[in-house]
């Protein structure tokens, strides 16, 4: 739930700052949400590198995939790259599209983990699905906004 809180609070603060004081670029929801998403992805990426969350993420990787630890590291790096890309106007749409794709492709690991009672257990799968859709919707706002 912490990533959703970070996204919401940071996006709202960025939008408020843009509305009250500028810069004009922040006076839009797509740009404010991009900042909130960037903060959120930095937070979620940290789990890919720091114990004990890293070990829980490694446990979530489907056994058919090779080298789970390397895949967790790779997805953490991709989340950090995506966060940076969201903050650069010229790359924000590409970053948003890539992060949407990554979230869709990684979601089966969440389903598997929920069914097998593995990995990070922060919320039940139905709620996790709704939160994932909120993240994808926020990324779509950046992509198409």
What pLDDT was estimated at residue 124?
85
Write the DSSP string, the chain: -HHHHHHHHHHHHHHHHHHHT--GGGSSHHHHHHHHHHHHHHHHHHTTTSTTHHHHHHHHS-TTSS-HHHHHHHHHHHHHHHHHHHTSTTTHHHHHHHHHHHHHHHHHHHHHHHHHT-S--SS-HHHHHHHHHHHHHHHHHHHH-
pLDDT digits (tens, 9 = 90+) for 32-61: 999 999 999 999 999 999 999 999 999 989
Domain chopping of the chain, boundaries: 2-49+63-144
The C-alpha atoms of residue 140 and residue 47 are separated, in whole angstroms, by 24
pTM as predicted:
0.94
C-alpha Rg value of the chain to the nearest Å: 16
pLDDT of res. 122:
67
Distance, in Å, from the CA atom of 92 to the CA atom of 110, rounded to the nearest integer, reads 26
**Using one digit for the tens of pLDDT, what is the confidence trace for 85-135?**
999 999 999 999 999 999 999 998 888 888 887 777 667 889 989 999 999
């Amino acid at each position: 739930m912490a990533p959703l809180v970070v996204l919401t609070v940071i996006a709202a603060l960025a939008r408020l700052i843009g509305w009250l004081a500028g810069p004009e670029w922040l006076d839009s929801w797509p740009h404010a949400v991009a900042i909130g998403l960037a903060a959120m992805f930095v937070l979620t990426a940290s789990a890919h590198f720091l114990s004990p969350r890293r070990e829980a993420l490694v446990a979530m990787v489907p056994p058919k995939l090779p080298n789970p630890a390397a895949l967790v590291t790779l997805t953490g790096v991709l989340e950090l790259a995506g966060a940076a890309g969201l903050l650069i106007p010229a790359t924000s749409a590409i970053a948003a599209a890539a992060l949407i794709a990554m979230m869709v492709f990684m979601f089966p690991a969440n389903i598997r983990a929920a069914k097998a009672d593995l990995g990070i257990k922060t919320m039940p799968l139905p709620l996790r699905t709704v939160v994932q859709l909120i993240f994808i919707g926020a990324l779509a706002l950046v992509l198409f906004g």
